Structures are given as C-alpha cells and as structure tokens.
Amino acid sequence: MTEENTKSISNPPILSLLPVAAVITNIKGELLEWNDLFFKLIGFPSLAVEAESITEIFDFEGNDLKNLISPLLSGEKQSVEVESAYILNKISVTLNLGLFSNQMSRSKKLIWLIKESAPDNHLPEYFQLLFQSIPFGIVISDGHDNVLKCNRAFEDLFGYTKAQLKGKKINDMIVPDSMKDFGVHLTSNVAEGRDVFHETLRVRADGELINVAVITRPVVFSNNRKYIFSIYQDVTDREKIEKLSLENGNQFATMLNYLPGIVYRCKAERDYPMLFVSEGSLKITGYEPGLFMNHSINYNEIIHEKFRDFVWEKWQKAIEDNKVFQEEYCIKHRDGEIRWVWERGHVVRDNHNRIMYIEGYIEDITEQRSVQLSLIKEKELLQALMDNIPDTIYFKDRNSRFLQINKAQAQVLGVKNQADAVGKTDNDFFDAVFARKTFEEEQEMMVTGELVINNEEHVFTNMGWRWLSTTKVPLYDENGEITGLVGVSRDITTNKVLENKLRKSERDLTLLNQEKDKLFSVIAHDMRSPFNSFLLLTELLADKSFSVEKEELVQLAKSMHQSAAAVAELLENLLEWSRIQRGQIVYKPKTVVLKNILEKNLNYFQANLQKKNIHVELSVADKITVLADSSMLSSVIRNLISNAIKFTPGKGTIKISAKRPDNNSVLFMIQDSGIGMDAEQQEKLFTLDTRGTKGTEDEPSSGLGLILVREFIKIMKGRIYLTSKENFGTTFYVELPAH
C-alpha cells in the first residue's frame, strides 16, 4: 500500500466527544472500552493500565455489582447512580450506570458515566494488567519515535519481543521502506500536538504486510514529559470491522441518551444542516431531533440574532486554524425563552484534508450563567463598597499573597491598577524586616486561627511613614479549613501625631508646674533672708531708745543696701524668667562684635572687682562676631561674670577668651580661680533643684540667673557647658553661631 492508499477513519470513536469520563464493561464489570477523560480521571501511568474490572478501580463501599445492576436487568430502572471512590486515594466520584444490548450478539453491556468529585492526579498501579489485557496493539514512544513500552498484543501483531523493540525507532521496525517518509511525517505531526487517526500498511518481523487502523496521539504524563501513545488494530478482516462498527454505533447511540446535552454532526455550512442530532435536543431547544435532521428547522435559526455572525466567524476561524471550537452564546428555545448554551466541537477532514463535516456537543448553561452573573454582580458591589471605604482592605491566601485589594490599599502599596497587586506579597512592597514579621504573624494565624485586633504598626509605605491600626481575621471554607485572611488597616497617623502632641503638652505642663513649685520654693528661701534682715534693721532704726554711732549707722546702711540689691536682682531674674515662660521674649538676632559687648558688660562690675581685688584678663580678637540678640547676650554675660566674681576669693583671677572652632560657630570662655563645684552641684546647676549658695564674701545667689542663661542661649541657637573642680575654679563655655 502506498501513501496514497492510506485512508483516514471517517467515524472516529464518539466516546472522545463526551464531556465526561466514560467506560464500557460487560455485566461482570470487565473493562472493554473507555475514553481519554477516563484516563485523565484515574491518571495515566508511564507504563500502561493494569486493572481488569471496574471494581478494581473504584470502591463501591460494600455494594455488590450484581445488586447495583439488578434494577437495570429487571427493567425497573433505566439508570443507576452510585457514589464511589477511587481505590488508590479514596477521592470521591459519582457513577451513572446504564444497560444496553448488542443487537448482533444479543450480549448485554454496561455504560458507566463517571463524574469526578475532586481533582485526582495519582496514578493507579492497576493499569498494567488492563494495559496487557487490551486486544489491540499498544505502544508508547518518546518524541523521537523511540519505543519505551508495548503490550503483548503489539508483540503478537508484529512478531517482535519487547527486548527487540525497546529503544528502537518505530519507523525503522514496522513501517515499509516505501512509506518511511510518510511515517516520519505522521510522527512529527503527533509530536507537535496533533491527534492522528488513519488506516495504513505496516510490515511484520517476518516481512508480511498487514493492514492496520492506527490511533496516535500525544500524552503528557504527571512528570510533564511528552510521550506518543499509539493503538494498532489489524483490519485485514473487513467483516469484523463492519460488525464492530455496528456494535459500537449501537453502544454510542444508547450512551448518548444519558447525556444532558446535544451530540451532533452537521455540514460545515452557515445554517449548520444536521446529519445527526441526539435526543438531548428536545430538552435544550424544545425541538425533536428529527426536525433538525429533515431540515424542517436549521440550528442557525434558533441562535439568537445578535450571536449568529459571531458564532459563524468563530467557527470559520476554528476551521481555518484546524483548532477546537469552544464558545458560549444565546439561543431561542421553542417556548420563546432565551437560554445560554456552551458548545465545543471540531471539524473532521478526509485524507486529502477536505472538510467532511462538523461534530460536537452543546449543553444548556443558563442556570450556571445566572449564578455566575450573580456572583459577578456581588463581587462588583463588594469591590465598589470596598473602594469607597477610606480604610485599606485586602484579602490574602494561605501563602499571604494578595487576592483582592481596594483603592486605599492600592495607594498604600503604590500600584495604579489594583490587579497589579494580585499574586504578590508584602515583600514586594515593604521593607524586608516588616514583610518578614508580617508573614510570620499571618502564617501563625493560618495555624492557630487567632485574630489580630487593632494592632498598631509604624510602616514605611508609598506615602511615607504612616501609623496603621490593623485588624486581621482568618477566612474559612465550608469544611472549616482556613483558606486565607481578610485585613483592614486604618491610617491613624493624624491621631498619633495629635496624641504625641497632647502627651508632650501634658509632659510640658507637668514640668512647668514642677518648675513653678520649685520656683516658689526658691523665692520663699532666697527672699526670706534679705527681707528679714531689712525688717530687723528698720525696726532697730525705728526704736527711739536705739542709739548708734555714725560708723555703726554706715554699716547698717550698707547691710540694708546689700539686702535691697539682692532682692532687686532676684526680682529682675524672676521677671525675665516669667517673660520667657509666657513667650513674651522676642528674639532679634543681629551681628554683634563679641569683644565690644564683653567690655561693655564688664564695666558694670568695676566696683565689685576693685572691692575684691580681682584681676580680669580679656583676650578676644576684634574681628570675632556672633549672630545673637544683644540684650539676651548681655544678660548671659552679666550673669556669668557676676557668678565668677561671687565665687572667686580676693586677689583672684577671671579670664575671658574666645575662638572660632570652625566657620560656623564662636566659642567664648569665662574662667575663674574660685572655689569650684563638686559633681553633684554641676549636675543640678541649670535646674531649679539647685539652691543658691553665698559667695566668698557672703554675696547672695539664688541660682535663678544660670537658668535664665540656659534659656537665653537656647533661644539664640547656642549651647553652654562647664568644667569645674573644687578649690580650683570653674570655666563656663558658651558656643554661639558665627556671623
């Protein structure tokens, strides 16, 4: 037989068109035929099928096969439905069982329509026996035509052993020399993903030529490797083929009556003239099959007018590309109701690639479509509601990947399109530390189911650092298993800022009250002594019996002056401190020549310096200037010089110097050779905790002056610090902005 003699099978097994897994057995349950969906249901092993009976594949949970088919044999029922499970992994399935008779042999057979209750990817071990028991030659090869496995029937058909075939190319072993190029072409088509059905000529090991029917198709196993699966049948005896075709036709016709939809065959024309229509047309369209097959009505008439061009264009495209047609569209039922249908079909060609007909399957999906539309509307309503809520809302799966977010969350993540976040995790949007912490917390929730309520987090988002109050709750499926979570985060940054300000104000107020209390304590302590002295002296002077010499009177006057001066200084400092606390001090910075302002303020203390015979050394360059408020700076200088004089004994020394440590600042120092301070005194020096101590000649001191110094320097954006050692003196350092 030449290449031209090769003929395509014009009527391929209609089992392959069924949308469900299907098996044909005898009444003992022994497997006879099946479709590809049955292979997918139970998982196709890399070697072959091992089971002989359907009871070796499915667990009937104690039901005896005879009891199951008894209502069918008695005519009590036309079909039986039973729940079962795949033996290998106990995944549930539903079996619809029907009975039909072979008109030629009058033998009774069973049709099993199997619906999988859950996905099942496991490979049963029982396939091997079934593989070896099939009366057709089966060979499995790789994409390069190398034989991997064959059954006994294949060995018997071609006269080779497995050892002789394994690893050899099929075209080299069983294809006649005159047809090798065509054989390579067919293998290439299958390797590219096409199914091939044809009758052709093959050669046995002894050289005998035989006619065979070959069904070859690509198969992808669970390891994702591609193989070529071929079934060979000896068709030399045409009478057997005719009988088998008739028997199969009766089987298929009976089986089609169990399908909920329409199985059809029609011409590839615009009106879809029907050659065959199953009984399902009455339920789907309201018209009997005969009305379509005698052309009283054509299928195009019942397609809704707005879909007619669309469906035909889709069919034209599928035919042109030699691909499967699949589409959803509307039809008009005989009762006038508009219904949605789902259609899947393909074009059948002869060996010259000429179109013979179209065949396929149509099913009513109106109810499913209605449910889908309701779900879509609910989802759109939920999304609209979510998008109008200012809080961020998001859904995540068990692996903490985003499933759905609202607009507020999209803004936080920095994505324009909400769909861009789907499938991503926090690690794609936040820093690694926060993302890892969040992932660990969410994974713990997936295990424990514990809720997260109002958890406050400081997070760096697309909008910068934000405070978020987050609540997360797990999501459960109908079996009570956690499938993910839903989270809601509220931006509380504004509240947090106000809260922090309130706390600061509270702290400031508390501190202010504490300082006020301390201040009153200072006033009570430091003003009591001068006023007591003043009252006592005035009381003596007012006493008529009191007589005093002139020298004593002078001494009393000096004491009164000293008391009055101390009170005046204290009141002045209190007034300045009060103005600072009430914010009434206005900072007026300008360029100030440091040497000039130091000399000006030194002049106020000439009498004090001469009285204690204290020597002052002023070493400041004329060009050194600072940016400062001259009034505040004068107050700082006077207080520091006053302290230096008070706590320096007679004939001591005060040194005043200045320098520029850098281009931006000026540092001036006031150093005395006085009594110095211990560490505790230094610690409290600039606070109201300190108590004024008298100078070397009992000069009064409230300690408030240094507090004013600190406040003024702070206002002028400078700083003050000191070094001191008991009996060796003290040095104050004042740093101010240069100008």
pLDDT in tens, 297-330: 999 999 999 999 999 999 999 999 999 999 999 9
SS3 breakdown of the chain: % helix, strand, coil, rounded to 5? 40, 30, 30
Reference 219, options 114, 322, 133, 139; nearest CA is 139
Residue ranges of the chain assigned to CATH 1.10.287: 498-581
| Token digits of residue 52 | 């002989």
pLDDT band at 251; cut points 50, 70, 90: low
- Please give the CATH superfamily to which domain 590-737 belongs: Histidine kinase-like ATPase, C-terminal domain (3.30.565.10)
Q: What percent of the chain has pLDDT over 90?
A: 35
Tokens 């993910």 map to which residue? 484
Between 405 and 691, the more confident residue is 405
Domain 498-581 has CATH 1.10.287: yes
On the CB side of 474, how many CA atoms lie within 13 Å of its CA? 19
Residue ranges of the chain assigned to CATH 3.30.565.10: 590-737
Is 90 exceeded by the pLDDT of residue 220?
no
How is domain 4-240 classified at the architecture level of CATH?
2-Layer Sandwich (3.30)
Q: What pLDDT digit, counting tens, does each position of 611-638 carry?
A: 889 999 999 999 999 999 988 898 899 8
- pTM value surpassing 0.75: no
Provide Rg for the chain, Cα atoms: 52
Interatomic CA distance for residues 689 and 261, integer angstroms: 96
Give the CATH fold of the 260-364 domain.
Answer: Beta-Lactamase (3.30.450)
pLDDT band at 561; cut points 50, 70, 90: confident
Interatomic CA distance for residues 547 and 410, integer angstroms: 95
How confident is the model at residue 246, as a pLDDT? 46
Interatomic CA distance for residues 588 and 609, integer angstroms: 31
How confident is the model at residue 120, as a pLDDT? 36
Interatomic CA distance for residues 649 and 455, integer angstroms: 64
Average pLDDT over residues 194-209: 84
Cβ atoms of 12 and 197 within 8 Å: the answer is: yes
Residue 149 DSSP SS3: strand
Give the CATH fold of the 372-491 domain.
Answer: Beta-Lactamase (3.30.450)
Average pLDDT over residues 46-54: 56
Compute the mean pLDDT over every residue in the chain, rounded to the nearest whole number: 81
Count the helices and strands in the chain (H runs, E runs): 22, 28
2 burial class (0-12, 13-18, 19+ CB within 10 angstroms)?
Answer: exposed
Residue ranges of the chain assigned to CATH 3.30.450.20: 4-240, 260-364, 372-491
DSSP annotation of 587: P
Is 90 exceeded by the pLDDT of residue 474?
yes
**How many beta carbons lie within 10 A of that of residue 369, not counting itself?**
16
